[in-house]
């Protein structure tokens, strides 16, 4: 217990100051560690959300374009969709899925596409008319295939030019 002396100011002892500084350092270290952990978790959550949004936008645009198209044809490098307004092409370049609409503008839809694969009548095709489009994309280190279908009526197939031109 401290004695109260006249003329002296009450103060903490050196030991009390050392203990207070030690406790402050421990609390600061714990707070910083928690902040880093929450920050990393937020960045990972944000990245996964961004990747999912990118895949959803890509899927939505591909489905929309395929549904509007009168024909879908694979070439060696592109997927070409013909509709009433012109042609829309998709190309994979350096793992980017590039969409070119009516020779006017280009959009980058997906940053993790590897190639475009097609099937027609249940058989794989490397070039020509396709009714099933498969776009393998890399998600968190795993390759996930987008599989989209284009339904043709018998009339469309009969009236279609089956050469490499539409």
Q: Return d(Cα 34, Cα 36) in angstroms, integer.
A: 5
Residue 28 neighbours by CB distance under 10 Å: 10
The answer to whether the CB of 56 falls within 8 A of the CB of 64 is no
Q: What is the pLDDT of residue 2?
A: 58
Q: What is the pLDDT of residue 12?
A: 79
* The model's pTM: 0.66
Q: What is the pLDDT of residue 162?
A: 55
Could you tell me where the DSSP H helices lie in 92-164? 154-159
Structure tokens given for 161: 């030019």
Q: What is the pLDDT of residue 136?
A: 81
Q: Return d(Cα 141, Cα 134) in angstroms, integer.
A: 18
What are the backbone dihedrals phi and psi of residue 86, each rounded to the nearest 5 degrees, phi first? 150, -145
Cα–Cα distances (Å) from 27 to 18, 33, 83, 156, in that order, read: 14, 10, 65, 72
Structure tokens given for 154: 């018998």
Q: What is the pLDDT of residue 134?
A: 82
CA 129, 157, 82: angle at the middle one, nearest 5?
55
pLDDT tens, per residue, the chain with 166 residues = 556 667 776 777 889 999 999 999 999 999 999 999 999 999 999 988 888 888 888 888 888 888 888 888 888 778 888 888 888 888 888 778 888 888 777 777 777 777 777 878 777 777 777 888 888 887 777 787 888 887 777 777 777 765 545 5
Sorted by sequence, the CB contacts under 8 Å of residue 151 that are 6+ apart come out as: 131
Q: What is the pLDDT of residue 164?
A: 45
Residue 35 neighbours by CB distance under 10 Å: 10
Helices (H) and strands (E) in the chain, counts: 2, 10
């Amino acid at each position: 217990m401290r004695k109260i002396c006249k003329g002296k100011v009450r103060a903490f002892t050196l030991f009390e100051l050392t203990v207070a500084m030690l406790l402050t350092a421990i609390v600061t270290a714990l707070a910083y560690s928690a902040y880093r952990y929450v920050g990393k978790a937020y960045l990972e959550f944000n990245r996964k959300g961004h990747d999912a949004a990118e895949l959803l936008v890509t899927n939505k645009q591909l489905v929309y374009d395929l549904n509007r198209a009168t024909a879908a044809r694979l070439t060696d490098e592109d997927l070409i969709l013909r509709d009433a307004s012109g042609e829309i092409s998709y190309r994979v370049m350096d793992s980017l899925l590039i969409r070119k609409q009516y020779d006017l503008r280009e959009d980058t839809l997906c940053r993790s596409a590897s190639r475009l694969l097609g099937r027609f009548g249940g058989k794989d095709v490397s070039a020509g008319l396709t009714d099933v489009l498969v776009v393998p994309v890399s998600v968190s280190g795993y390759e996930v295939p987008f599989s989209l279908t284009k339904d043709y009526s018998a009339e469309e197939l009969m009236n279609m030019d089956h050469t490499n031109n539409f």
